[in-house]
Every structure is written in C-alpha cells, then in structure tokens.
Amino acid sequence: MQDRVLLISDLHLEEQRQDITEAFTQFLKVNRGKCSALYILGDLFEVWVGDDVESPLTTKIADSLRKFYKSGSSIYLMHGNRDFLIGESYAAQCGITLVQDYFSLEVQNLEILLLHGDSLCTDDVDYQQFRTMVRDNQWQTEFLKKPIEERVAYASAAREQSRAAVKTKSTEIMDVNQTAVKTLFNSTQHKYVIHGHTHRPAIHDVSLKQDCSSETTGKRIVLGDWDKEIWFVEIQNGKIDLRALPFPE
C-alpha cells in the first residue's frame, strides 16, 4: 500500500444533494487501494440524529466506505458540528475508527494536528455555548433517548436557527480567531494544523515564537467544503498538498 494519506471534511451529505454523494462515492472508488489512510475531519453528513435513523443515503455511504476499508485503507472520522452524534454502531458498519478533535497524526516524519475547526471560532460566543451543550456526554445520552421524530424536529429547528444566525453574523465572527490559532500552535507545538469547518480553503503561514531569539513558521491548512468542488489534502513523499477537483460529469 502506498504511504499516501488523504484528508477531507465538510461534505455535508444529504438526500437533496445527490451530486455530492455521487462525487464522494467516486472519490472513494478512484482512491480505493491507493492510500494508506483517509481522515474525515467532520461534517461528513449535514445532519445526524442517531445511528438508529437509517436512510438510503446512510446505507449507500456505509457500503462505499466499507468497500474502501476492505481494500486495505484505514478510515478515521472526527465529529463535526453537524454529525457529532455519529456513534460506534454506524462507524463499525462503515469500517471507520472514530477519533477525537485534536488528533495528532504522525506520518512521513510530519507531525500534524487534526481538528474540525469549530473550536477555533471563539468570537462566535453563541455558537460556542451551543457547542459546549451538545458535546456534553449527558446531553447526548438524553437526546438519543428521545423518539426519532422529536430528534429530527430538534435538528431541523437548530439548522433553521443556525441559518438565520449566519445572516446576522459578520464573516469575521464565523472565521477562526487568530489568538486561538496562535495559542493552539504554541501549546501543542505542532508545526502543521489541518482543519475544515470554515469553508475557506487556504494555506496560512502562522509565525510562532519558539523562544526570545528564534521564530519559526507553522502552517494552518484549511480544507474546503464540497458544495461545488471536491476538496482534499494529500500527504505524499513528506509533502502536504491542498487540492480541488471538479465534480465528476
């Protein structure tokens, strides 16, 4: 197996977007047996209210991921702010290993910190409060006990609220906070950070003070969402590339 690692995020798969589902299943097919690992850094699905809620979409994705996994590639999934309720049961169905936000990936002599990215948007105080609530284990356990209809209704209402809030928030608020970024680099000492969430694909240089005399540069690589293009990061031969491809015809 090639020592090639792929990372993606923010596909926001949903029944209404067959084009993204198609692009993703094609992406898996093309890369089957051609990479050692695939990391999904959150928001694979637009909404997830429990592993007990199956649909043709969830089955199709599970089948595709399972085939990919069986070809010899490991699949790691980190929760995003939309699909944080994906559980061990669905993960097992897909051949996925669930990992946490702030996962350290050591590959090809690179030390990279992986996260979804929403935790860095500290200017969005309302959202951070919501995040703390829904990421709480007890809240999740209680929520998953509710009837499916109630969970679906809650998720729809939350999405509506989020859409309405997005319209009133400045674009700066919804991006990462630069102080949070610097704190992250300085506390974990990783040279590379890869995340999604903001839907602003880019490679940013972050200057880091090591001590009084020396300064070094870290890189923050932001994955794009799959609304119009296939965004992914490819790590090969010790190099990290951010790439975009058009959807298949």
Partner 1 sequence: MIVLNTNYGAITVELNFEKAPISAENFKKYAKDGFYEGTIFHRVIDDFMVQGGGFEAGMAQKDNGSPIENEANNGLSNLTGTLAMARTSDPHSATSQFFINVGDNLFLDHRDKSEQGWGYAVFGRVVDGMKVINTIKACETGSNAGHQDVPVDDIVIQTVEIQED
Cβ–Cβ under 8 Å, residues 91 and 99: no
Rank residues 72 and 248 by Cβ distance to partner 1 and give the closer one: 72
Of the listed pieces 21-29, 105-113, 145-153, 227-235, which binds partner 1 according to CB under 8 A? 105-113
Rank residues 26 and 97 by Cβ distance to partner 1 and give the closer one: 97
Rank residues 161 and 179 by Cβ distance to partner 1 and give the closer one: 179
State in angstroms the smallest separation of the CB of 102 from partner 1. 5
Among 98, 134, 158, 203, binds partner 1 (CB under 8 A): 98
Among 11, 37, 41, 113, binds partner 1 (CB under 8 A): 113
DSSP string across 133-159 = HHT-HHHHHHHHHS-HHHHHHHHHHHH
Structure tokens at 156: 């729809």
238 burial via Cβ count (<10 Å: 0-12, 13-18, 19+) = exposed
Interaction mask 175-194, partner 1, x per CB under 8 A: ------------xxxx----
The H or E element that residue 242 is part of is: strand 239-246
Structure tokens at 239: 């190099």
Contact between 54 and partner 1 by CB under 8 A: the answer reads: no
Among 2, 55, 89, 104, binds partner 1 (CB under 8 A): 104
State in angstroms the smallest separation of the CB of 45 from partner 1. 20
State in angstroms the smallest separation of the CB of 71 from partner 1. 19
DSSP string across 65-83 = HHHHHHTT-EEEEE--SSS
Contact between 108 and partner 1 by CB under 8 A: the answer reads: no
Which positions ≥6 away from 203 have C-beta within 8 Å? 219, 220, 221, 222, 242
The residues that touch partner 1, with contacts defined as CB under 8 A, are 97-100, 102-106, 111, 113, 137, 187-190
